[in-house]
Homo-oligomer: A and B are copies of this chain.
Amino acid sequence: MADGEHALHLEQFVPYRINVAAVFASRALARIYGEKFGIGIPEWRVIAQLGEFGRMTSRDIGELSQMHKTKVSRAVSGLDQRGLVARSENRADRRESFVSLTAAGARVYAQIVPLALAFEQRWTEGIAADELRTFERVLAVLTERGRLLAGTYHEEGA
């Protein structure tokens, strides 16, 4: 460790710290989706997108929710089998199909949303509003720059 260099302390290393926080958040959320609804995080993301935007293709789901197409494929299949989403052919382009929530899926969505928002609320409770805004702004910058530094691809976490 020569002059002018800084030592590395893992517990202060931002990429590490972000990851630890992300894992805790995922685990806590997975509990909510999982224990009460038997739904994992990829499934949740699909449901969240469909609940927000309605009918969409798997490609768009992956694009918007930052998931690899194989993960979307498997999540959609699982939800389809369980009757929470339905697929309908796009006659204008038969490679893709539209995915949408069924009535049962919409009910699950309606139940999860308040739980998810309550979790977020509880998680960020007591943090000053302006600090939280700063946090989110910095997070957005880091995410965008991270996307560039990570490369081209397209994928996931929770």
Binding site for B on A (CB under 8 A): 5-11, 13-29, 31, 45, 48-49, 51-52, 64-66, 113-114, 116-117, 119-120, 122-124, 126-127, 131-132, 134-143, 145-147, 149-151, 153, 155-158
* A25 in complex: contacting residue of B19, B66, B119, CB < 8 Å: B19
* A117 in complex: contacting residue of B6, B113, B131, CB < 8 Å: B6
> Given A123-B145, A139-B135, are A116 and B24 neighbors across the interface (CB < 8 Å)?
no
Contact residues in B for A137 (Cβ distance below 8 Å): 131
Contact residues in B for A124 (Cβ distance below 8 Å): 14, 142
* A141 in complex: contacting residue of B7, B10, B127, CB < 8 Å: B127
Q: In the bound complex, do residue B21 and residue A146 qualify as a contact, i.e. CB atoms below 8 Å apart?
A: yes
CA of A143 to CA of B12, assembled, Å = 13
Contact residues in B for A27 (Cβ distance below 8 Å): 146, 150-151, 153, 155
